[in-house]
């Protein structure tokens, strides 16, 4: 009776079932419940990938900062160093193309900078723009085709650098006057400087013409008047030509932009001043005026005139140097007052006037 009841008794749930083996311990970390602490010695080493992700993010940020800085420097490049800015981007393109990379991004950045800067619309510059655009399109279309990238890498590199070489040649020819100069130029020939306050000078400084007069044996006459635009400069020409000058130095156009005058009217006035000077037997030196550090809203007006009229051009680095060596911009703001070229950030002091006069003297020497 007792044996039968023991055989027929249903096992209680609280008793362990000895007929089935216990569940094996989990072998995968993903199978361990979240509330169960893991043994550090057996936990997966996923933390080792965190420094790698941080390093990759830091490199991307650093690369973005470097590219952004280079683009900013390209936008700030003076017109006098524009070909070398272009060369820098072509070097990057050439290296990447040689490594069979698409390499269209550096050229796209370079072309964008040239468009923003409103560079002179000269044949060589337009030709370079077309070459860059064609290469950008071809490299972008074949970016997933390594064979095409390799096949066209060297031809594209050669064509790009050839177009750049033409730009360099044209860039130098714009600055230098190639037309026949005056038959003779001696120490008695008069030089007249026409301009606004950058020529007139800020008292007690008498402007660069005073420094030029001390630098050269020739008589130098200052016909600069503060605040005038090219229209007033054109009205001054009868007075200028009464001095029977052999050289007329023109520094005008900044106030045309500040007063809202059009580019076309500014160009027409400057061209007429050049024509009147040449009709009287004088040669002209045109000083380039910067109207912005990132871009020129007058689209390199003086360079366009110098190219069309073949006049001697003094690049605008003369004024940019004055601004950079002043208390309003680095590195001038960190320098002692005795080393600065300007005291107000735009007009030259006696040291700055001497620097400008040397640029003008060099331009005159090239006309002899």
Q: Kindly report the three-state secondary structure assignment for every residue of the chain.
A: CHHHHHHHCCCCCCCCCCCCCCCCCCCCHHHCCCCCCCCCCCCCCHHHHHHHHHHHHHHHHHHHHHHHHHHHHHHHCCHHHHHHHHHHHHHHHHHHHHCCCCCHHHHHHHHHHHHHHCCCCCHHHHHHHHHHHHHHHHHHHCCCCHHHHHHHHHHHHHHHHHHHHHHHHHHHHHHCCCCCCCCCCCCCCEEEEEECHHHHCCCCCCCHHHHHHHHCCCCEEEEECCCCCHHHHHHCHHHHHCCCEEEEEEECCHHHHHCCCCHHHHHHHHHHHHHHHHHCCCEEEEECCCCCCCCCCCCCHHHHHHHHHCCEEECCHHHHHHHHCCCCCCCHHHCCHHHCCECCCCCECHHHHHHHHHHHHHHHHHHC
Whether the bond between 23 and the residue before it is cis, its omega within 30 degrees of 0, is no
User: How do the pLDDT tens digits run along the chain, 368 residues long?
Assistant: 444 444 444 445 444 455 455 555 555 544 445 454 555 444 455 555 666 666 878 888 888 888 888 888 888 777 778 899 999 999 999 999 999 999 999 999 999 999 888 788 889 999 999 999 999 999 999 999 999 999 999 999 999 999 999 999 999 889 888 877 777 789 999 999 999 999 999 888 899 999 999 999 999 999 999 999 999 999 999 999 999 999 999 999 999 999 999 999 999 999 999 999 999 999 999 999 887 767 678 878 999 999 999 999 999 888 888 988 999 888 989 999 989 999 998 899 999 999 999 999 999 999 87
User: Contact 198/226 with Cβ under 8 angstroms?
Assistant: no
Q: Residue 194: which of 231, 226, 233 has the closest Cα?
A: 233
Protein fold of 190-367: Rossmann fold (3.40.50)
CA distances from 42 to 23, 49, 139, 183 (A): 20, 17, 51, 95
Handedness of CA 187, 251, 183, 244 (dihedral sign): negative
Which tokens go with 176? 């230098």
Domain coordinates in residue numbering, the chain: 64-175, 190-367
pLDDT value of residue 184: 78
User: Contact 104/140 with Cβ under 8 angstroms?
Assistant: yes
pLDDT value of residue 293: 65
pLDDT value of residue 54: 62
Specify the pTM: 0.76
CA distances from 362 to 37, 39, 248, 312, 331 (A): 82, 81, 14, 11, 26
């Amino acid at each position: 009776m007792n044996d039968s009841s023991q055989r027929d008794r249903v096992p209680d749930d609280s008793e362990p079932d000895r007929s089935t083996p216990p569940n094996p311990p989990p072998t995968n970390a993903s199978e361990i419940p979240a509330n169960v602490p893991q043994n550090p010695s057996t936990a997966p080493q996923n933390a080792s990938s965190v420094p790698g992700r941080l390093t990759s993010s830091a490199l991307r940020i650093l690369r973005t900062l470097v590219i952004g800085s280079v683009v900013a420097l390209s936008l700030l490049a003076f017109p006098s160093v524009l070909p070398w800015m272009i060369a820098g981007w072509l070097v990057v393109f050439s290296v990447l193309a040689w490594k069979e990379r698409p390499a269209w991004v550096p050229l796209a950045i370079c072309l964008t900078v040239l468009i923003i800067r409103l560079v002179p619309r000269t044949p060589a510059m337009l030709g370079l723009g077309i070459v860059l655009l064609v290469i950008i399109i071809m490299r972008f279309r074949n970016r997933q085709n390594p064979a095409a990238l390799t096949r066209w890498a060297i031809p594209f590199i050669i064509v790009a650098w050839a177009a750049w070489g033409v730009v360099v040649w044209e860039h130098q020819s714009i600055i230098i006057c190639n037309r026949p100069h005056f038959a003779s130029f001696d120490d008695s020939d008069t030089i007249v400087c026409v301009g606004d306050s950058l020529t007139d000078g800020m008292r007690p400084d008498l402007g660069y013409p005073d420094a030029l007069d001390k630098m050269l044996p020739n008589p130098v006459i200052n016909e600069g008047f503060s605040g005038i635009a090219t229209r007033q400069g054109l009205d001054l020409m009868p007075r200028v030509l009464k001095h029977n000058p052999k050289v007329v130095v023109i520094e005008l156009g900044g106030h045309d932009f500040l007063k809202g005058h059009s580019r076309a009217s500014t160009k027409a006035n400057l061209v007429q001043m050049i024509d009147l000077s040449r009709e009287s037997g004088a040669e002209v030196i045109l000083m380039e005026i910067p109207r912005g550090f990132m871009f020129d809203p007058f689209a390199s007006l003086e360079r366009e005139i110098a190219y069309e009229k073949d006049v001697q051009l003094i690049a605008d680095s003369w004024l940019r140097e004055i601004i950079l060596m002043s208390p309003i911009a680095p590195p001038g703001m960190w320098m002692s007052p005795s080393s600065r070229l300007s005291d107000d950030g735009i007009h030259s002091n006696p040291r700055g006037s001497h620097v400008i006069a040397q640029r003008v003297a060099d331009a005159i020497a090239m006309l002899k």
